[in-house]
Amino acid sequence: MQKSKPGAILAGFVAHRYSMCCFESPDFSRFYGFPAVAFNFNPFKKNALNQSSVPESASSAGNSGAPTELSALDFSHASQQGAIEVTEVSSGVGVVYEEAAVLYANGNDRDAEHLLTAVFDDPTATVGEGLWMMLLDLYRLTGQRERFETRVIDYARRFERSPPAWEDLSVQPAKRRSDAAAASVVNLPASLSAQASQQLQQICVIANKSGALRIDLGRVRSVDDEGCALIQKTLAQLAASRVKLTIFNASRLVDLLAPKVKPGQAENRDYWMLMLEMLKYTGEAARFEDLAVDYAVTFEESPPSWESKQPNPGDEQPPAVEETPGRGEEEFYFDGELSGSSNEAIRKLDEFASARQTVLVDCSQLRRVDFVAAGTLFNSLASLQAQGKIIQLYKVNAMVGALMRVMSIDQVAQVMLRG
């Protein structure tokens, strides 16, 4: 039996997407040199590399403007009626784009490089910025600095702007965080009230699975009676489950609780208890002891004992609080390579996303995603999108980004490429 051509498993899938005139993300399509709409174009036809089709016409709601260079279509000629003449000028680039993405995903770095460089060395081929970035990122991913430096000069001349900087992405990145800091991170909302009940329940679920949790109180602006009781209950549950808990910016909550704690007035017991607990995380032993004496006198019962729970110096402090819309949650990270149908990192992403509306995924250290893992990732992200969640994959390298477009991952998540 003859061995299948590399990447042939995608032929039917991609041909179907193109033949159905599927609408793609305009920015993503333009970057990779492909049209937002493909007109019955099958990139896997054997004669696609050297055959030009007869020009077609199609309606367009947009206005004609300066020519936009696309590797597959030329939209530069618009009639007075607003119709756009669509001319296939270099359909072979489409084959290269799809095949190179799949070859790299399957670990065939050399074949992917040969496929890409053949297009660059072809004087008749029209190459968009997307393929340039694929080749440059491939050099960075495989540690080929000399070849990168040679090509990057041509890139600067071609696009008349500063080229990407060299960065060796071939080495395994250092472990991003210590084991303690690698625990799930939760930013509590600005208002701690009954409305925070669902998020606090999710916190307990996540913490019980991971065995460790980091909570950042830097965004908290107010706390009421019900919110105070919920926090108390959550901390008790985490302690009972022996979860390793780290709390940052506990002083924010201490400052909010202080005016509600009045010595000599036996009320607001939850506020007293929560403030005493938070002082353990701020490391203020003297202030804790003074408040404990006031508690004993006010409520005529023994106060909690002092126990320092201040974060260790080695624990990673969360970034400074910024009131930036859409970035209210801590990022999730993909590192190294994603492979296999039951990838643990994708499962952890599902858990991370369960308590968040906007899910930010840092892919700056993600070097490769294989074909099977890409399918699993698509299913996961499609499920999250169906729940109304917004997923942003950012700092994606161009080789992985190409596969994400092949697998329609850009249809269920926002994919932002690295520079």
Helix residue ranges per DSSP H, 20-128: 26-31, 92-105, 109-120
Confidence band of 392 (pLDDT split at 50, 70, 90): very high
Residue 417 has pLDDT above 80, yes or no: yes
Angle at 223 between CA 219 and CA 224, to 5 degrees: 160
Task: Write down the residue that tokens 């307990």 correspond to.
Answer: 204
* pLDDT given at position 342: 59
Pick 38 or 34 by higher pLDDT: 34
CA-based nearest residue to 304, from 280, 329, 340, 330? 280
Cβ distance 34 to 131 under 8 Å?
no
Residue 401 has pLDDT above 50, yes or no: yes
Provide mean pLDDT across the span 4-24: 40
* Residue % of the chain over a pLDDT of 70: 69
CA-based nearest residue to 418, from 343, 334, 353? 334
What dihedral angle (degrees, nearest 10) is formed by the CA atoms of 7, 11, 13, 14?
A: 90
* pLDDT given at position 164: 84
* pLDDT given at position 97: 80
Q: Where in the chain is the domain with CATH 1.25.40?
A: 93-159
Separation between Cα atoms, residue 393 and residue 244, nearest integer Å: 29
CA-based nearest residue to 33, from 398, 416, 415, 363? 398
Provide mean pLDDT across the span 7-18: 42
Provide mean pLDDT across the span 333-360: 87
Residue 385 has pLDDT above 90, yes or no: yes
CATH topology of domain 184-299: Transcription Regulator spoIIAA (3.30.750)
Separation between Cα atoms, residue 374 and residue 294, nearest integer Å: 59
* pLDDT given at position 340: 80
Please give the DSSP secondary-structure letter assigned to residue 37: B
Residue 63 has pLDDT above 70, yes or no: no
* pLDDT given at position 271: 93
CA 74 and chain centroid, separation: 33
Residue 102 has pLDDT above 70, yes or no: yes
Q: Where in the chain is the domain with CATH 3.30.750.24?
A: 184-299, 332-417
Class level of CATH domain 332-417: alpha beta
* pLDDT given at position 226: 92
* pLDDT given at position 339: 87
* pLDDT given at position 341: 64
Provide mean pLDDT across the span 202-207: 78
Provide mean pLDDT across the span 317-337: 59
Pick 367 or 67 by higher pLDDT: 367
Confidence band of 98 (pLDDT split at 50, 70, 90): confident
Confidence band of 281 (pLDDT split at 50, 70, 90): very high
Separation between Cα atoms, residue 19 and residue 15, nearest integer Å: 6
* pLDDT given at position 162: 81
Residue 175 has pLDDT above 80, yes or no: no
Provide mean pLDDT across the span 384-397: 93
Please give the DSSP secondary-structure letter assigned to residue 410: G
Segment holding 337, helix H or strand E: strand 332-338
Angle at 264 between CA 258 and CA 268, to 5 degrees: 50
Pick 127 or 107 by higher pLDDT: 107
Provide mean pLDDT across the span 60-86: 34
3-state secondary structure (DSSP) of residue 367: strand
Single-letter amino acid code for the residue at 411: Q
* List of residues 6+ apart from 217 with CB closer than 8 A: 188, 247, 248, 249, 250, 252, 253
Mean of the per-residue pLDDT values of the chain:
74
* List of residues 6+ apart from 230 with CB closer than 8 A: 192, 194, 196, 197, 200
Q: Classify domain 93-159 by CATH number.
A: 1.25.40
Confidence band of 173 (pLDDT split at 50, 70, 90): low
* pLDDT given at position 187: 80
Residue 174 has pLDDT above 80, yes or no: no
Residue 324 has pLDDT above 70, yes or no: no
Cβ distance 399 to 134 under 8 Å?
yes
Confidence band of 142 (pLDDT split at 50, 70, 90): very high
* pLDDT given at position 321: 40
CA-based nearest residue to 106, from 418, 405, 399, 408? 399
Separation between Cα atoms, residue 231 and residue 215, nearest integer Å: 11
Please give the DSSP secondary-structure letter assigned to residue 332: E
Q: Which two tokens stand for residue 306?
A: 């002092």
3-state secondary structure (DSSP) of residue 244: strand
* pLDDT given at position 256: 92
Residue 288 has pLDDT above 60, yes or no: yes
